[in-house]
Amino acid sequence: MTKDIAAILAHPQFRAACDALRDGHARYVDEIVTLTEIPAPPFKEERRAEAFRGMLAGYRLEDVALDGIGNVTGLRRGRGNGGIVVVSAHLDTVFPEGTDVTVRREGTRLFAPGVGDDTQGLGALLAFVRALDAAGIETEADLLFVADAGEEGKGDLRGIHHLFTEGDFRDRIGAFFSLDSPEPESVTVRGVGSHRYRVSFRGPGGHSYGDFGTVNPAHAMADVVAGMARWQVPAEPRTTFSASVFGGGSSINAIPQEVWVEIDLRSVDQPALDALDARLHALIAEATAAENARGDSSAGIITAEATRIGARPAGETAPDAPIIAACDAALAAFGFEMKRDTASTDSNIPMSLNIPAVTIGTGASGARAHTLEEWVDLEPGQSLRGLSAALAAILATAGLHVEG
């Protein structure tokens, strides 16, 4: 076996796989179009998952199936040496139901909501599976192909979270790739964790004049946000907070019965994120108690409820991890210069569990993700260099079985 990039690149079977990627490029593009045009709004990825399961059939994969959370998985068994390497892309898009997802082609460009983020990644999984079969490649570790649910927004990485906490393969996963961007040079090696809350402050309310002096939940909310404004947080590990969206109150002549604010806390470091989270909860308790002490609570007290509306763990792949070195070498071999990025992606989950993970690109160019003007350019030259580099990095991580 070998995990050496130079040896892999030189191996006839890898060259055969690259040929298969080249020969199948038109099909790769067509499959991206097909999948893009199957809507996959947040929490409604089922139709696309079913279609993808069908497209995964007929290859050297075991147990192609939908798991309990809505991920499609297919295991490509290796030689039994080295557990499982996950190769994933996410099913969901950010676009709500009813969005026109018709793909418009202009030369090598595809225009459509979700085409790059992350339908192209799904296409890459299919292209890899075919290329591996065509080249008769055997890996040392098993490869688990995963089209996962709930990467975006309130999906909260639930597909990959499930994979690592409840999935059948959870105890055997040794490395993790997420294909989730057109750009080939960006390799996400740090995962920004986030805790998101909607904090509601409630009280008895009353008439603004007649009941003046009654505790006002707006005062407690304001104390929380004013307190946050004065927080000092570390620049490294980068840690941030934002009071973002506000609402509540029913009438200008009423002391509100409820007001609320949505708060976003982030850090690349989980202990720092947990510390900030504790600080927020302490501030909420303090601000609420202060208003109850300050005002008249005979008609009722101010209470606060912090509902967690999002949680993504922070994590990092060790800078000297072989998976990063493999990406670096594979990209360099195909003419790309790796950039180590920090982002919030499916890799957050394995990173938080100290499982080596990277989020990589698929070799295209593209832009305007999360807008209706999203596009990717699948010009075959760069596209094939990117796909080949990614496949090389995966093989270097799983180990290429070499006969004799």
The residue from 58, 96, 234, 247 that contacts its own copies (CB under 8 A) is 247
Is residue 174 near its own copies by the rule CB under 8 A?
A: no
CA 110 to chain centre: 22
* CA–CA distance, 388 with 186 (Å, rounded to integer): 15
Helix pair 120-135, 46-56: axis angle to 10 deg: 10
Is residue 293 near its own copies by the rule CB under 8 A?
A: no
For residue 111, the tally of other CB atoms under 10 A from its CB is 18
Residues in the chain: 404
Interaction with its own copies in 331-390: which residues (CB under 8 A)?
A: 344
**Residue 211 vs 328, nearer CB to its own copies:** 211
Is residue 254 near its own copies by the rule CB under 8 A?
A: yes
Is residue 117 near its own copies by the rule CB under 8 A?
A: no
The residue from 34, 99, 208, 297 that contacts its own copies (CB under 8 A) is 208
Binding segment (CB under 8 A) for its own copies, from list 62-70, 139-147, 249-257, 381-389? 249-257
The residue from 69, 134, 225, 353 that contacts its own copies (CB under 8 A) is 225
Least Å from the CB of residue 4 to its own copies: 37
The residue from 76, 196, 202, 312 that contacts its own copies (CB under 8 A) is 196
Is residue 242 near its own copies by the rule CB under 8 A?
A: yes
Binding segment (CB under 8 A) for its own copies, from list 14-22, 190-198, 325-333, 386-394? 190-198
The residue from 156, 168, 185, 264 that contacts its own copies (CB under 8 A) is 264
* CA–CA distance, 18 with 5 (Å, rounded to integer): 14
**Residue 205 vs 366, nearer CB to its own copies:** 205
Is residue 306 near its own copies by the rule CB under 8 A?
A: no
Side by side, the strands of the sheet bearing 258-267 are 239-248, 258-267, 193-202, 303-312
Least Å from the CB of residue 224 to its own copies: 8
Tokens of 357: 């993970």
For residue 70, the tally of other CB atoms under 10 A from its CB is 22
The residue from 7, 134, 222, 275 that contacts its own copies (CB under 8 A) is 222
SS (H, E, C) 290-338: HHHHHCECCCCCCEEEEEEEEEECCEECCCCCHHHHHHHHHHHHCCCCC
Give which of 404, 392, 402 is closest to 14, Cα–Cα: 392
Least Å from the CB of residue 272 to its own copies: 13
Q: Residue 102 corresponds to which amino acid?
A: T
Interaction with its own copies in 23-52: which residues (CB under 8 A)?
A: none
Least Å from the CB of residue 247 to its own copies: 6
Is residue 240 near its own copies by the rule CB under 8 A?
A: yes
* CA–CA distance, 116 with 119 (Å, rounded to integer): 6
Helix pair 322-333, 380-398: axis angle to 10 deg: 150
Sign of the torsion formed by the C-alpha atoms of 167, 172, 174 and 178: negative
Least Å from the CB of residue 354 to its own copies: 23
Query: Backbone phi, then psi, for 219, in 5-degree steps?
Result: -65, -40
The residue from 171, 229, 337, 381 that contacts its own copies (CB under 8 A) is 229
Is residue 300 near its own copies by the rule CB under 8 A?
A: no
The residue from 92, 291, 346, 374 that contacts its own copies (CB under 8 A) is 291
Which residues, at least 6 apart from 316, have a Cβ–Cβ distance to it below 8 Å?
Answer: 189, 190, 191, 268, 351
| DSSP label at residue 230 | T
Least Å from the CB of residue 23 to its own copies: 40
Is residue 228 near its own copies by the rule CB under 8 A?
A: yes
CA 315 to chain centre: 13
Is residue 219 near its own copies by the rule CB under 8 A?
A: yes
Q: Print the binding letters for residues 67-106 with its own copies: x by CB under 8 A, - otherwise.
A: ----------------------------------------
Give which of 374, 370, 378 is closest to 32, Cα–Cα: 378
Instruction: Show the CA angle centred on residue 328, arms to residues 326 and 330, nearest 5°.
Output: 65
Binding site for its own copies (CB under 8 A): 192, 194, 196, 208-209, 212-213, 216, 218-219, 221-226, 228-230, 238, 240-256, 259, 261-264, 266, 291, 294, 309-310, 344
